[in-house]
Every structure is written in C-alpha cells, then in structure tokens.
Amino acid sequence: MADLIPVAGPWITQREVDYAADAAANAWNENHNIYNTRFETAFADYVGVKHAVSLPHCTAGIHLSLAAFGIGPGDEVIVPEVTWIASVAPVVYVGAEPVFADIDPVTWCLDPASVEACLTDRTKAIIGVDLYGSMADWTQLRKIAEARNLYLLEDAAEAVGSRLDGLAAGSFGDTGVFSFHGSKSLVTGEGGMLVTDDEEVYVRVMSLRDHGRPPKDRFFLNQEVGFKYKMSALQAAVGLAQVERIDELIEKKRQIFNWYADQLGERSDIWLNAEPENVHNSYWMVTIVTEAAIGLNKFQLMKALETRGIDSRPFFSRLSQIPAFADRPESARFLPEVPQGANAAEYGVNLPSGYGMTEEKVARVVSALNEILV
C-alpha cells in the first residue's frame, strides 16, 4: 500500500523555527511577554479589530466570552446543532442552557431563520460558527442580536483567512475566537485567540483569564475567582511567524481546494464547500457531502478511504444525537423532525487538506473516491 495521506498538517518554515528558538532563549523575565504582544498586535491588525488576546486554546476564548458577557444559570444560548462540541461546551461550563438551531444546508453555518425560531425570554446570546472556513450570514445574525439586545459570538476557529463582504472572519461578533490547533490553517501546536472591539469586554477578559487579577497587578490581590488561560511565549513565537505568512498560507489552502474542485467537477452526486459571491472561503478542510442514494454514510466512506491509504475525518455530528447531550432533550426542542443539517452530518467527510498536499496526492484521493462512489 502507498504511504498514508494524512488528513491535515501544518506548513512550518525556518522562520517559525528561528522565532521559537529565540523565544526559548530570550522570552523570560522582563521579556516574557514580548512574543505574545507581537503576535496579538499582528493578529489584531490582520483581523481589523482593536484587541486580540492570546490563549491556550479556542475553547478558552468561548468560555471567557460567555463569562465576560455575564451569561450564567437560567440563561439560554443559541448554538448550531451541527458543529464541534467545543463551540457549545462552554455554555454548559457557565451553567447556561445550549439551544440547538439548524444550519444552512449550503454553507453549513447557523441558519438565521432557525435562530429566530429558537428565541425565548431566556435567550441571552448567539454563537455562530464559521464551519470549515465557510461564513455564516453575519448581517442577519447581527440584526437578530441587536433587535433582542443579545450578545453575538463568532466562532471563527476554522476560518482564519475567510472574508465576508471584504471583512475578516472573527470581526463580526462582540467577540471572535480562533483555534491554532496543529490541524488548523494557522498553527501554534495548541492555542487560540480572542478578538474584540469592545473595550469593556476586553478589560474583563484580561482579568478573568489570569485568576481574577487586573492586568499588570504585582501584588496578587485577586479581585475574584477567575481562570488560567494564557498562551506560552513559545506558542506565540510560532504564531507570529505564521501570521506574518498568512497570505501564502491561505493561498495554498485555496489552491488545494481548487485541485479537488477541478478533478471532482464532473460529479453531480458530490457537494463541496460553498463560496457565495460575497464570501472569500479559506477552505480549512476540503469537505464533500455525498448523495444519500450512493448508500454510504460518512463512517463507511472513511473506512473505504482508509483501506486505500487515505486518512479522512467525519463531518461533525448532530450534537443532539451524541452521548454528551443525551440528558439535555430540551436543547433540541425547536429543531424540526428532519433538520436541514442532517444530510451533511450523515454523509459529509473531510478529505486530506494539509499543507503537504500536492496535485498528484489530490488525484490519488479523487481516484479512490471514483472507485468507491460508483
């Protein structure tokens, strides 16, 4: 069998290595924050926001956002039913109730019409997810949020480099959050970022992420019980190098997608990631949703690819159908019997999309798909 084609993987150059080595040697004592500050400044500039806060992971950004918004027991937060659990778990952390809304069947992002159907007197916030690099309808979601005085959180974990109407992913919510996990388009190994234009939220986040200490406090007189959510200098150094290369990183992601689109273009029984006219999709993961009539669900297709030396990942499952939320049937009370997102959740697969992909490797994946999906 040919070597396994991995589903993801970063693009690391000598710049990342040099910055990380310098951080290991010099980012201590009075210089301990130098790479974090440089990374945060560069990232905020790229997204077009006032503030960026480096974190150990994206989940911390969602948790800190909800805590800064004052979300807690008795509150409801509307979330997409089809997404990674990390987008929703922090709602439970703060004692609030997640309410599942449907996703758009084309963009795979939160459907504003479904959000409208989920609104109650207890609704306090909406979390939209830019799934796989796609962009939610942030114009409509913002209208809904402003009409009901709700907080709006943009989970752009998978969408660094994507744009809607020329504006960067992550800039549409009261806060935006990103992931720099090793599988993402921009990596720090683990890691995340919270961005915001809201000065009050920023100040609150800066205290909450350091055990309730105000920024620059040297006396350890904590004002409240907070969290420990800081990124290391080594991670920030790698992140700085990556954000300095962000344009070439996203260009490569789009090239990989275009190779797939060109080679799969003749198949009418496969749907790929959408890119509406007003969207620039960064295509974190090249994703296919196959026609139900083919008769293979996502797990069966993954197994068939694996036997051909090709790694893959399943499209995220419906959260209402996984064991973690089995004891929360009320979270799904507004969903239709057959949600729009059910098809993608059952038949969607993420194809190899790492930076090590070549046109020849894409051809190998496509050839395998054409063998399997007869």
**Residue 255 CB partners (closer than 8 Å, separation 6+):** none
Q: How far apart are CA 296 and CA 181, in angstroms?
A: 30
Last residue of a domain, one of 223, 244, 265: 244
Last residue of a domain, one of 210, 244, 278: 244
- 105 shares its domain with 239: yes
- 33 shares its domain with 182: yes
Check which CATH number belongs to the domain holding 140 and give it. Answer: 3.40.640.10
**Residue 81 CB partners (closer than 8 Å, separation 6+):** 100, 101, 102, 103, 318, 319, 320, 332, 335, 339, 341
- 218 shares its domain with 290: no
Q: Look at residue 1 in the predicted model and tell me its pLDDT.
A: 55
Query: How is the beta sheet containing 151-155 ordered, strand by strand?
Result: 51-55, 192-196, 175-179, 151-155, 123-129, 76-80, 97-101
On whether residue 304 sits in a domain, the answer given is yes
Last residue of a domain, one of 244, 278, 299: 244
For the chain, state the CA radius of gyration. 21
pTM above 0.75, yes or no: yes
Q: Look at residue 216 in the predicted model and tell me its pLDDT.
A: 84
- 99 shares its domain with 199: yes
- 289 shares its domain with 219: no
Check which CATH number belongs to the domain holding 313 and give it. Answer: 3.90.1150.10
- 232 shares its domain with 198: yes
**Parts of the chain with a pLDDT under 70:** 1
- 357 shares its domain with 209: no
- 294 shares its domain with 272: yes
Q: Are 102 and 340 in contact (CB under 8 A)?
A: yes
Q: Look at residue 374 in the predicted model and tell me its pLDDT.
A: 85
Q: Look at residue 295 in the predicted model and tell me its pLDDT.
A: 94
Number of domain units in the chain: 2
CA angle 77, 287, 88 (to 5 degrees): 15
Domain extent at residue 262: 246-372
- 36 shares its domain with 168: yes
- 105 shares its domain with 123: yes
Label each residue of 104-117 as H, E or C: CCCCCCECHHHHHH
